[in-house]
Structure 1
Amino acid sequence: MDQASPPPIGVAVFPVTPLQQNCTLVWCRRTLKAAIIDPGAAVDALLGAVAKQGLTLDAIWITHGHLDHAGGAAEMQEKTGLDIIGPHPDDQFWIDGIPAQGQMYGLPEARSFTPTRWLADGDTVTLGETAWEVYHCPGHTPGHVIFFNRAARFAQVGDVLFQGSIGRTDFPRSDYASLLNAIATKLWPLGDDVTFVPGHGPSSTFGAERRSNPFVSDQAMSRAPIPRPASGPS
């Protein structure tokens, strides 16, 4: 891609739920077709934001089955008729548990669902004239996936990686070693120049995290054992 050319995609981030989860709106600049990634709640407000941007919503993409990321997907599908794409089927048990999670976190409207399409490592999803690569990155949850647009050097990584931290692994079927492996073998090879939106908090680049992230920097990954984060985003 010509370095002077504008990126082929647009990105806007809308924090939702009491956990301030980064619901991400991405769109193809040529066709103005858009996807909502991880609509955890506030469905009407999100649909209003899509309309305000002059976009046509084309799909709902889910990185993993936790309430704050997937709790609004059923309502959004009901109101739009759109497909729910993702996550990997190993997160079915988390999706089934969304109503109980909603009661715990004050989101009683959250509902479970069955994705229109499950995703697997190596899959591709399209949005207008853009193509997005899917990488299965278990660890935070067993069925977590991330979405990568190679042309724009952009990824939405859910709760795999954060600026200065990594996803929690104290949940059922979480696995710390698997999370570190996913970051090292799936994310880092995509390139240091990749900008990512995490599931919570500010954006960063893979290169910045390789330099300074206390859990998965190159220096930290060369040591063993690497300490687990005491706490972090959900």
Structure 2
Amino acid sequence: MSLKYQVVPVTSFSQNCSIVWCDETMEGIVVDPGGDVKQLEMLINELGVKVVNLVLTHGHLDHVGGTEPLAQALGGVEIVGPHKDDNFWLQGLEGQSQMFGFPLTQAFEPNKWLEEGDKIHFGKQVMDVIHTPGHTPGHVVLFSEEAKLAFVGDVLFNGSIGRTDFPKGDFNTLINSIKSKLWPLGKDVRFVPGHGPESTFGHERASNPFVADEMPLY
């Protein structure tokens, strides 16, 4: 029994949408279906994954733009997340669409907001929900302790961190989320960021110029 995943870059922002599943039951989730719904639907069918939830890490358009159409295409699966503090982003999706030149995306609310300590179940797998504000106030991270794997959205990247210049973003809050919520999970944890290549928490603690343990004194 193990957790499997496939990352699919979607939209012109190359946002990492992840199809994640239990290889014993083939039940799974889709994390951050930002767009390119037909491509996602075809791949889900090819893989043979029975999607039980669409899970959102935060409310930015490139992460949520394809959510409602994909939910409908998959027979009305439930949308869960992010934390309710990102509701203002979801309610502003029409404005985000115009600002970024994306197809018009209507405002929506998930079937369920996520809180710190919630758990996402699919097949025999479970992922912990960790509230990690800073990039957005309602950002969440999904963590599988068994697989030592985290889906971190736009909190942390290979060699960088999420932007904090959007409304209700905050640099110090983001740094605190990374150091106090993610680092304790272990240096051997691999993570899938919202954009770009994967990395491990250990690698970022050693070399990431924003959050490394030993910042050089230049």
Aligned equivalents of 2:99, 2:70: Cα separation in 1: 21
Deviations 1:2-40 (A, max 9, x none): xxxxx7111100111111100011001110011110000
Q: Structure 1 residue 58 and structure 2 residue 84: aligned? A: no
Equivalence map 1:48-197=2 (5 Å): 48-80=42-74, 81-197=76-192
- Counterpart of 2:40, as a letter, is L
State TM-score, norm by structure 2: 0.96
Cα drift, residue 71 of structure 1: 1.0
State TM-score, norm by structure 1: 0.90
Give the stretch that moved more between structures: 129-138 or 95-104: 95-104
- Computed over aligned residues only, the root mean square deviation of the Cα atoms, in angstroms, reads 1.2
Number of equivalent positions: 216
Aligned equivalents of 1:20, 1:143: Cα separation in 2: 22
2:12 aligns with 18
- Counterpart of 1:171, as a letter, is F
Cα drift, residue 55 of structure 1: 1.4
- Counterpart of 1:92, as a letter, is N
Aligned equivalents of 1:61, 1:31: Cα separation in 2: 19
2:38 aligns with 44
Aligned equivalents of 2:110, 2:59: Cα separation in 1: 11
Cα drift, residue 75 of structure 1: 1.3
- Counterpart of 1:30, as a letter, is E
Aligned equivalents of 1:86, 1:172: Cα separation in 2: 19
Structure 2: gaps spanning 5 or more residues: none
Aligned equivalents of 2:213, 2:59: Cα separation in 1: 29
Moved over 4 A (4+): none
Aligned equivalents of 2:67, 2:94: Cα separation in 1: 12
Instruction: Kindly indicate whether the alpha-carbon contact (under 8 Å) linking 1:99 and 1:108 is maintained by their aligned counterparts in 2.
Output: no
2:26 aligns with 32
Instruction: Kindly indicate whether the alpha-carbon contact (under 8 Å) linking 1:41 and 1:110 is maintained by their aligned counterparts in 2.
Output: no
- Counterpart of 1:111, as a letter, is Q
- Counterpart of 1:136, as a letter, is H
- Counterpart of 2:112, as a letter, is R
